[in-house]
Amino acid sequence: IGIAVLAAVCGNIARIVLLAAGVAAGPTRLGFDVMAEPWHGLVGLVTLGVSSLPLMLWANAVQPAAVESARFRPAVRILGIRSAAMFCAVATIVVAAPHRPLDVGARTVSIEAPERIGVYRAASSPLTSTERAYFEQYGGAAVKARYGPYALLLTRTTSPLRHLHAPDECLRGLGYHVEYVGLRFTPAPSAQYRAIAPDGRAYDIETRFISNTGRVAASVSEAVWIWMADRSTVWTSVQRIAPAGRDTLARAAFDAGLVAALDLHSIHQTFAQRE
Q: With cut-offs at 50, 70 and 90, classify the pLDDT of residue 266.
A: very low
Q: Is the pLDDT of residue 224 over 50?
A: yes
Give residues with Cβ within 8 angstroms of 114, minimum separation 6: 122, 145, 258, 261, 262
Mean residue pLDDT across the chain:
80
CA distances from 252 to 48, 55, 118 (A): 43, 53, 11
Q: Is the pLDDT of residue 270 over 70?
A: no
Contact by Cβ (8 Å): 34, 43: yes
Round to whole Å and give the CA distance between 11 and 17.
10
**The pTM is what?**
0.62
pLDDT at 202: 92
| CA 143-146-150 angle, 5° bins | 120
pLDDT digits (tens, 9 = 90+) for 231-260: 888 888 899 999 987 778 888 888 888 888
| % pLDDT > 90, the chain | 8
> How does DSSP classify residue 113?
-
Outline where the chain has alpha helix (H): 2-30, 39-61, 74-96, 129-138, 160-163, 167-171, 220-229, 248-261, 271-274
Round to whole Å and give the CA distance between 199 and 11.
41
Q: Is the pLDDT of residue 271 over 90?
A: no
pLDDT at 216: 87
Domain extents for the chain? 2-61, 116-274
CATH class entry, domain 116-274: alpha beta
